[in-house]
Structure 1
Amino acid sequence: EQLTCGCHVHVSVESDEEGVAVLDRIRPWLPVLTAMSANSPFWQGQDSGYGSYRSRVWNRLPSAGPTDTFGSADRYHEQVRAMLDTGVLRDEGMMYFDARLSAVYPTVEVRVADVCLEASTPVLLAALVRGLVETAAREWRDGRPPARIGTGLLRLAAWRASRSGLDGPLIDPGTMRETSPAGAVEALHAHVREALADHGDDERVREGIARLMERGNGARVQRELLRTEGSLGAVATRCAEITAVAAT
C-alpha cells in the first residue's frame, strides 16, 4: 500500500539557520503546490474522489505532514533528535516533513508534490519553489516574522488541496479562508513574483500557470482519459505516451 512516489524540489541555502527560517515561512504556501501537481486520483482500481490520494496515503506515516514553526536551527535539530530518540524512526531520512533540511545536501527540500504527468509541470514547480525559498529568505533577512498559523489549519489546507486538486475549493494561504483554485494559485504567484522576476522566471511561470489552469493537472487529465478510454489499463498506457511526448 505504500507504493507512493513524489516530486521533491531542492533549493540551496547558505546555512541551516537560513534554511529553518525558510521552512518557518513557506508553510502556508505548500498546499497550493499539492493542488497544482495532483496526479493520483485512483486507488486500488477505483476513483478515490481525491486529486492527490498519494498525499493521503503518504500522510499515514507518523512523521509526515506540516510542522510547527521551529524558530531556530538549534530547535529544528533538537526536534529531529527527540523524534529519533523515540525509536519509531530509523534515521533522519525518515523525517517526512512537508519541507525539511536535507540530510545530504545544503538545501531546503520541499516534498509535497505528486509526480507529474508532463515535464512542464515540475519545471513550473521548481521555479515556484525557488521563488518561495528566496522570498522567505528575504523576509527573514528583513526581520519579518513568519505568519502565525497553527499546524491544525495547515493540515486542513493540505487535506483540501489533496481532495480538490484544481477542481474544487482551496484555502487561500494568506487569509486561510476558502477560495477558488485560480485564487489560490494567483495568491502564490503574487507572493513570489518579485523573486521570480529577479531570477528571470516570471514570464515562464506566468505561461506555465496559464497552461496548467486551462488544461488541468494530471488528476483531471486521468479522469478525462478514463471516460474516453474505458479502463485504467488504457489510462496508464496513454499517460505513459503523454509523459514521453512531453519530455521530448
Structure 2
Amino acid sequence: MAVRTVGVEEEFLLVDPVSGRPRAVGGAVLQAAEDDSELTAELHREQLETGTRPCVGLDELGRELRGTRAVAAAAASAVGVDLVALATSPLAVEPTVSPSPRYRKMAQRFGLTVDEVMTCGCHVHVAIDSAEEGVAAADRIRPWLAPLLALSVNSPFWQGADSGYASFRSQLWTRWPSAGPYELFGSPAGYRGTVAAILGSDTVLDEGMIYFDARLSRHHPTLEIRVADVCLDPDDAVLIAALARALVETAVRGRRAGCAPDPVRTEVLRLASWRAGRSGLDGELLDPTTWRPAAAADVLNRLMAHVAPALEDAGELETVRGLLDAVLRRGTGATRQRQVLERTGDLSAVVAAATAAGRGTG
C-alpha cells in the first residue's frame, strides 16, 4: 500500500541570546542563509519560517525537521540571534511588520491584530489525489483537530505574563476573521463557493488569508492542517504530522466505505478548540465520540483507536504510540515552559531552555 507523503512548515521566533527578547532581523537572517529555499520570511521581522520536503517515513521526516531547524539556527546565529520554537514570545515585544506590500496592506486593514498576533504555528501538508479527496478528508477530520492542538500546546506566556492558556496562540489566531473551525463543505464546489464568498466580502486580502484549521493548499496537491502550535521538540512535530496523515488516510477510507462525516456544528468545534487551547493535556477535552468532557488521555486513546488501522498499515503504530507516550510522560511544551519558570523565576530562562529543546539538545 502506498503511504501518503507528508511535509511540515514551522514558524519560529528570532531572539536575543542574552535577553531572550525577539529581534527584528528576519531579513538579515534570510540573507545569511544565502537564499536557502527552506527558509522564508513571515508577517513579522522577528520571525522565520522553515519547510521540509515531502517525506514518506517518519524517520525521514524527523531528519528533515532537524535539518531545517539546524539550517535556520545557523543562519540566525550568523547575525547574532537564536532560533526558538515558541508559539508566542514569553517576554514583552512590539513586533515590526515585514517590509512587503502585502504585509503592509494587512497592517493597514487589520490594525492592532497585526501588531499583536505574532504567533508561530506548525502546518502539516498531507498528500491528496484530488480536490474531491481533499474536501472529503477536510470534512471528516474536523472532530479530531482540537486534540491535535492539545498535543502541541506551546504558548502559555504572552507579553511577559502567564496567559492562563496552554496555547494562547490559538486565542490570538481567532482574531483573524477567516480563521478556525469550519462547516462541512460537502464537495469541491462547496469548498470553492465558501472561499469565493469570503473573498467576495472584501474582508480578507486574498486566498492566502483563508485560515481554516484545514484547507486545500494553493501551491501543492495537499490538505494543509494548520491547527497546531510550533512544537518545542522536533519529535512532537513528527507526532503531529503522523497523526495528521493518519487522520487524512482514515477519512479517505471512510469516504470510500460510504461513511458520512460527523455533522457536528462549528459552534461546538469552537468550544472543543477553546478547551484544547486552555488546558492542553492538563485538563478535560471534548470527546469527539460524545461531545462531552473527558480526560485528555482518554480522548487521545480514542484518537489512536480511530487512526490505528491507517498507522498499522503504514508500519507506524508502535512509533506513534512511543511518541505519544513521551509527550504524556514529559509534558507538552506549555507544561515544560511553566516548569522552567517555576524553577528559575526568569522568563529569559524559559526562552533559553526552549532554544536548546528546539534543537533537540535540551
What amino acid maps onto 2:313 in structure 1? D
Tell me how far apart the structure 2 counterparts of residues 243 and 67 of structure 1 sit (CA, whole Å): 31
Runs of 4+ deviating beyond 3 Å? none
For residue 193 of structure 1, what is the aligned residue in structure 2? Answer: 308
Between structures 1 and 2, the one with greater helix share: 1
What amino acid maps onto 2:167 in structure 1? S
Structure 2: give runs of 5+ residues left out of the alignment: 1-115
Tell me how far apart the structure 1 counterparts of residues 311 and 167 of structure 2 sit (CA, whole Å): 27
Matched, 1:163 2:278: yes
**Structure with larger Rg:** 2
Q: 1:83: Cα distance to partner?
A: 0.6
For residue 264 of structure 2, what is the aligned residue in structure 1? Answer: 149
Q: 1:246: Cα distance to partner?
A: 4.2
Tell me how far apart the structure 2 counterparts of residues 246 and 238 of structure 1 sit (CA, whole Å): 10
- Matched-pair contact (CA < 8 Å) for 1:118–1:243: yes
For residue 187 of structure 2, what is the aligned residue in structure 1? Answer: 72
For residue 12 of structure 1, what is the aligned residue in structure 2? Answer: 127
- Matched-pair contact (CA < 8 Å) for 2:182–2:266: yes
What amino acid maps onto 2:276 in structure 1? A
- Matched-pair contact (CA < 8 Å) for 2:153–2:229: yes
Q: 1:245: Cα distance to partner?
A: 3.2
For residue 117 of structure 1, what is the aligned residue in structure 2? Answer: 232
Matched, 1:36 2:151: yes
One of 310, 315, 325 as aligned partner of 1:210: 325
For residue 293 of structure 2, what is the aligned residue in structure 1? Answer: 178
Tell me how far apart the structure 2 counterparts of residues 242 and 11 of structure 1 sit (CA, whole Å): 26
What amino acid maps onto 2:278 in structure 1? R
Tell me how far apart the structure 2 counterparts of residues 245 and 120 of structure 1 sit (CA, whole Å): 8
- Matched-pair contact (CA < 8 Å) for 1:21–1:136: yes
SS at match of 2:154: coil
RMSD: 0.9
Tell me how far apart the structure 2 counterparts of residues 43 and 82 of structure 1 sit (CA, whole Å): 34
Tell me how far apart the structure 2 counterparts of residues 157 and 134 of structure 1 sit (CA, whole Å): 22
Please show how residues 128-147 of structure 1 align to structure 2 within 5 Å: 128-147=243-262
Tell me how far apart the structure 1 counterparts of residues 169 and 360 of structure 2 sit (CA, whole Å): 24
- Matched-pair contact (CA < 8 Å) for 2:234–2:360: no
Higher relative contact order (CA 8 A, sep 6+): 1
One of 328, 341, 345 as aligned partner of 1:230: 345
One of 84, 89, 95 as aligned partner of 2:210: 95
Percent identical across equivalent pairs?
53
TM superposition score normalised by structure 2: 0.67
Q: 1:238: Cα distance to partner?
A: 1.2
What amino acid maps onto 1:131 in structure 2? A
TM superposition score normalised by structure 1: 0.98
SS at match of 1:245: coil
Tell me how far apart the structure 1 counterparts of residues 248 and 153 of structure 2 sit (CA, whole Å): 21
Tell me how far apart the structure 1 counterparts of residues 286 and 279 of structure 2 sit (CA, whole Å): 10
